[in-house]
């Protein structure tokens, strides 16, 4: 008679795999995940079935962490102008706390085959639209949510490609200045 799977152990293993992937990227083999979780590769297969299934769950959990962190950052705050909220969010998203997510998901977005997460590119765009629309609603301009999303995504891609933080931060601040003076 086989052992019964234990959800708590599975959850601990998955959390360790997510931590490892955010710090080092998705591995080509299972050994780095096994070492990070303190288990054997056989135990990974036991709990997740296949390497691709483990990678998909790792990406899903990392994405949920990103949504939680970034979603909170871009949520309008009482008594704070939304451009200030966006400026603060940008600093965290592109700083040490946000960079691992940006790195992981930019690689996934650029992946041609999308086998691990079909439809990721679309989802990675549309899931941020509502929070930006809600934020811009606080300025009476919810229709500008798409523009904010496009600027954020474009500047993140620029930062990823060039590493020129000072120039990209200036461009984001210039964009925010246009929001502060736009008619309501």
**Digit-coded pLDDT (tens) for 95-142:** 999 999 988 887 766 655 567 777 777 787 788 899 999 999 999 999
Residues 107, 160: Cα–Cα separation, whole Å: 10
Q: What share of the chain is helix, strand, coil (3-state, %, to 5)?
A: 75, 0, 25
Q: Is 46 helix (H, G, I), strand (E, B) or coil?
A: helix
Rounded distance, CA 139 to CA 53, Å?
Answer: 43
| 18, 58 contact by CB (below 8 A) | yes
The share of the chain scoring above pLDDT 90, in percent, equals: 71
Average pLDDT, whole number, for the chain? Answer: 89
């Amino acid at each position: 008679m086989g052992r019964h799977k234990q959800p708590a152990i599975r959850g601990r293993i998955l959390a360790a795999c997510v931590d490892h992937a955010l710090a080092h990227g998705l591995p080509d083999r299972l050994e780095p995940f096994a070492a990070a979780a303190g288990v054997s590769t056989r135990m990974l297969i036991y709990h997740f079935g296949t390497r691709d299934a483990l990678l998909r769950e790792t990406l899903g959990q990392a994405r949920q962490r990103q949504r939680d962190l970034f979603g909170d950052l871009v949520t309008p705050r009482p008594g704070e102008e939304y451009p200030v909220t966006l400026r603060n969010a940008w600093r965290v998203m592109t700083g040490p706390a946000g960079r691992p997510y940006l790195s992981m998901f930019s690689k996934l977005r650029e992946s041609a085959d999308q086998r691990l997460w079909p439809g990721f590119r679309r989802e990675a765009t549309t899931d941020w639209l509502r929070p930006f629309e809600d934020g811009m609603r606080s300025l009476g301009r919810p229709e500008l949510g798409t523009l904010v999303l496009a600027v954020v995504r474009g500047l993140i891609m620029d930062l990823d490609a060039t590493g020129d933080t000072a120039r990209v931060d200036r461009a984001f601040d210039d964009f925010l200045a246009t929001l502060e003076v736009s008619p309501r």
